[in-house]
A = this chain, B = another copy of it.
Amino acid sequence: MTTMFASTTRKTPHSGKRRICFPITSRAYYGRSQLLIRKLHDHPGIELELMLGGSILLDKYSRHIADDIEAGGFTISASLFNVIEGGNHVAMAKTACLTALEFTNGFHAADPDVVVICGDRFEQLAIAMAAAYLNKTIAHIEGGDVTGSIDESVRHAITKLAHIHFVTNDDAHRRVLAMGEDPKYVFTTGSLDVEVASQVAAGITSDGVNSYGVGHEIDVTRPFLLVIQHPVTTEAENRRHLEDTLRAVSSLDMPVIWIWPNPDAGTGEMADSLRHFRENVPDAVRKMRFITDVPVHAFIALLKVAACLIGNSSAGIKECSYLGTPVVNIGARQQGRLHADNVVHAGYDRGEILASVRRQIAHGRFAPSHIYYRAGASQAIVDVLAGSALYTQKRFCDNAEAGVRT
């Protein structure tokens, strides 16, 4: 079949600018990408199109994102509702497929030179797949890390579809090369999250934090714990694991800020569990404040003053390494990931969690580490995206054989 109209969909003639599509599918990605997006938008040689899909469109707290985006003069070329309800693996898989289907149309219409894929969320692999089939050059941010959960597979599969790699640390760089990527196109730029964290100067007041969420009033000038525990999609016991954490934390009798888990397979039962405790075991949560969402600057400010971060958020590994915040990392989600001294690992055992938190509180803050930090991460990415030669046909580079250190 011939495809007469395919060419008619490029809405605007090429201006000589390099056209970059940036799919954003979660608030977290928007938060960490703010500096990058701003610099891409301001670059004279780049035409930036933001494409929104997935959970970011469903987020009640995303109003400020919309305002940001509009105030920033950004172009949103598509807003695609494609999250299938169910909170289970079937719904997750189908969400990824539908997302890819719709982003295919979006890419077909926008006809970008480069598609930027962030991190390792399941729908980002689907989007990368769509971009690959459309012969687009794919730039991947944060490949090469080792973690637990399905993210581990997703991240490396994206690497094998991507053409340009921005990694956050030397270990990741080595793994991306081992996987056969072209050394000329692998760049260790440091973490965008950490860059954002390094630039947030403002603190947060008690009034500020208490304007978010529900529950116990927090006094940020006094020691408090911060908990973020996301579901691990490859595990069946998410609810029990969450309850073990909750009971361990509760028994410390300290004020707690509990950040609601991300929307993902398994989130539903975790959210149910938290609601259950609030309704039926009020004593267990009496010193807890539950927050579904905070702006990125407030989140960083909380990380800076929290006595300990507990759970399985990547912020414990990345931002907190730079900020020196003590972290008790629970379970498999971040397992194997490069981390600094600020992180203590604990299994899902209540006693082990409790002991680890006590140890971290006793230790207090750590010296900052730069394992995930390079100055000017976002500018480095922009420079490559604006300037490097683009290619689409990949070929496995036998870096080990070629003597490249992997």
Interface set of A (CB-CB < 8 Å, partner B): 1-6, 8-9, 52, 56-60, 62-63, 65-66, 69-70, 76, 78-94, 96-98, 100-102, 104-105, 108-109, 122, 125-126, 129-130, 132-135, 146, 148-150, 152-154, 156-161, 175, 178-180, 214, 233-234, 265, 268-269, 272, 279, 332, 335-336, 392-396, 398-400, 406
In the assembled complex, which residues on chain B have CB atoms less than 8 Å from the CB atom of A76? Answer: 5, 8-9
Contact across chains for A3 and B336 when beta carbons are under 8 A apart: no
Closest 3 CB pairs of A and B: A93-B133, A97-B101, A156-B160
Given A81-B85, A101-B101, A178-B178: A395 and B90 interface contact (C-beta under 8 Å): no
Which of B57, B105, B179 makes the CB contact (< 8 A) with A102? B105
Contact across chains for A84 and B87 when beta carbons are under 8 A apart: no
Which of B82, B88, B132, B153 makes the CB contact (< 8 A) with A6? B88
Contact across chains for B86 and A1 when beta carbons are under 8 A apart: yes
How many copies of this chain does the complex contain? Answer: 4
What is the bound-complex CA distance between A396 and B179, given in angstroms? 10
Contact across chains for A57 and B4 when beta carbons are under 8 A apart: yes
Contact across chains for A153 and B160 when beta carbons are under 8 A apart: yes
What is the bound-complex CA distance between A52 and B8, given in angstroms? 11
Contact across chains for A5 and B66 when beta carbons are under 8 A apart: yes
What is the bound-complex CA distance between A154 and B102, given in angstroms? 20
Given A129-B129, A156-B180, A396-B336: A3 and B57 interface contact (C-beta under 8 Å): yes
